[in-house]
Amino acid sequence: MACLLAALSSLNLYISEKLPEAEEIRDIQLQIPLKIFTADKKLIGEFGEKRRSALDFPDIPPYFVKAVLAAEDDDFFNHSGVSYSALIRSVFRLLISGEVQGGGSTITMQVAGNYLTGRDVNLFRKIKDIFLAYRLESIYTKEEIFEFYVNRIFLGNRAYGIASASEVYYGASIEDLNLAQWAMIAGLPKAPSSMNPLVNPRRALIRRNWILMRMLNLGYIYKEQYDLSIQAPVSASYHGLVSEVDALYVSETIRRFMINEYGLDAYIDGLAVYTTLDSTLQNNAVDALKNGLEDYDKRHGFRTPENFLSLFPEDFFIQNLELRLDLINSSNILPIGISEIPEEEPLESVYSLLNNLTTTDNQFPVIVISSDKELIVVSGDRTTHQLAWSTDLGWARPYINEDQRGLKPKSYADFIREGDLIWLERDKVTSSLSLTQIPDVQGSLVAMDPHTGGVKALVGGYDFFLSKFDRATQSSPLLGSNYKPFLYASALEAGFTAATLINDAPIVFEDKALEDKWRPRNASGRFYGPTRLREGLLQSRNLVSIRLLREVGIEKVRKYSENFGFSINSLPSDLSLALGTATLSPLKNASAYSVFANGGKSIEPYFISKIVDRFGEIIFEKKENEKKQVIDPRIAFIIKDILQEAAKRGTARKVSELERSDLAGKTGTTNEAESTWFTGFNDSLVVSVWVGFDQPKSLGNREFGSSTALPIWIDFMKPSLEGLPKNKSQLPDGLVSIKVDRKTGLRSESNSRNSLFEYFLEEYLPE
């Protein structure tokens, strides 16, 4: 006996030396992914290999606790860490089979294995788990050990812990599930990869029902609860990351920033980034830009699709068209005209082509099987679709060039052939299908608070998954006439007034920098003679702007423009600057216009308001932006006032349909309409929209900022203006309102229709 006790004592000492410290569990950091939220706490992005969330014991539903106990260890709250009966069964299996097998482990022993000793199945590890289980029970409460278990266990499909499993399998929080669903999750630890309801619903159902029976036998539930739950169908389905807000361009920008700042640990440290985005404004922005680009695209017709007839087997269309028609017209298909193509069809290359194309949330590619009477197509999931001809397809006139389209089609056969790769769109409400095409044109939208610099909405392109290039921050298109307010502000600083006359008349320049004779003209092709600066800006008169730039001085204007955030290198040193050959990103352009909106102060745009660690501690918080007065507030007031008038009767007059007197804005169109803009604002919000091609080319000779970018801006602002106050700016000190003559710009004493009030800096009053 003494020898046996000595042997056991030696074994205990030896194993104790090999055991990790049980206290280490508290220090083990769960790998929790990086999450990004809007300012109103809506999820916009999650980055990390494992989906994990931790729960405290009081937050775990009691019936779920009982389901786990029934499945894994019903004596958990009574034993000291080891179940002797289960241990005896494991030893018996070892003697019979000669191999150490899984099973027989209590929840405490599983915690020891998951956290500290590893997952290898061998006798020495089993012994270590036993000793460590006793140690865990002496340090932690049962509730804490249970937390360790349910928060770390792998439950399939990237889900670690019960909170994540609930989201992955049911798209809901654990407290919102029912008894049958709790039992289903409780059954996952046994075989998370092969017994989960997505991979093998039959085996998962058997496991679930066994757990429910165990709960009944253990007295955890009533017979009525059991009867109801046992009949419940398998309701699990995969719920991947579901962003509450479509802000992929912003979340990607922040992902890169976090990796640069915190390294790859940002993916696992459980950091939460709270942005300045407003979820409502962001969703409005995504919808407005998408709709606007599609409207432009359809105005210019249906582009000839790529054709992949060569991928089809010989005589496929002749031999199989009748089969497809029979399939589509058969009675066992859905009303919208969907049926399954037989798998034996030798069309693997077609399916491969379709499945390798990136889709959008409601658009997908198909190959045309027939366009004779109705459109018959096949998609990558081996499904055929049938579309009847619709008069709504009048937009699909064949594209010839940016200024020309072909005849209006009368049937699909007029513009679609067998083997064409085309796109269908599924209506999000009715699920009906219609012909569409992915726009070639691109665009961006930025909305920001002009007082704080916080970005409220940002969209960097038509669809992030089709192109991850962020045009809002990574591109710097030509500004066109969107630059003119900065030029006119420079003129006011130099002593010109809003009533100063500049001649709008033909002019020819022999500018060495431009290497040729230059004959600029207005967009209308007309000339208007002597024009007050106010009228020149709100009507965007090119000849007035060119003469004004020459009189103020190119270098003086370039230097003054730096106050708005322009780099001097982005400003050409020739007269083309007056027509907007300066470049700026849409984000920086919104920031530049903020100077007019906030009374002349520069403001730096930003996305991140704070970063919180896994424990809820703030590790970064954005300090209030430093506001520097960069231009005279009186000049900012005058420019804003002119742009408010432009929104009523100038190039931005479409804005008047919003019926707001506080809105100001400026269109922008470059030469050949390669780049088009609209930037509009009030005291609360600045929004800049750009539309153009990634590889610059003309949008068409009938396209302007007022026809491309402005409709997107209006579409965004309509719902976004709700709740925004109609602020009326206070007149700055040193600004005087004087009646002047419309034609001469000189002081007027009459009350005739030829006079109006104009604002002047008190040091530059008119004669």
310 exposure class (CB count in 10 Å sphere: 0-12, 13-18, 19+): exposed
Tell me how many helices (H) and strands (E) the chain has.
22, 28
Contact 242, 171 (CB under 8 A): yes
Distance CA 622, CA 603 (A): 14
Going by C-beta distance under 8 Å and a sequence separation of 6 or more, which residues neighbour residue 287? Answer: 715
| Catalytic residue selected from 72, 147, 167, 418 | 72
Backbone phi and psi for residue 406, each to the nearest 5 degrees, phi listed first: -85, -165
Contact 678, 710 (CB under 8 A): yes
| Catalytic residue selected from 339, 371, 379, 481 | 481
Picking from 433, 411, 438, the residue whose alpha carbon sits closest to that of residue 422 is: 438
Amino acid in position 316: F
94 exposure class (CB count in 10 Å sphere: 0-12, 13-18, 19+): middle
- Stated as kind and residue range, the H or E segment containing 387 is strand 383-387
Q: List residues bridging with 208 in a β-sheet.
A: none
Distance CA 83, CA 482 (A): 76
Residue 600, SS3?
coil
Picking from 446, 501, 495, the residue whose alpha carbon sits closest to that of residue 474 is: 446
Specify whether 748 is catalytic. no
Joined tokens for residue 140: 């932690």
Distance CA 245, CA 251 (A): 10
Specify whether 481 is catalytic. yes
Parallel, antiparallel, or unpaired for β 529-532 and 601-602?
A: unpaired
Picking from 315, 276, 278, 298, the residue whose alpha carbon sits closest to that of residue 603 is: 276
Contact 441, 692 (CB under 8 A): yes
Catalytic residues, by residue number, are 72, 481
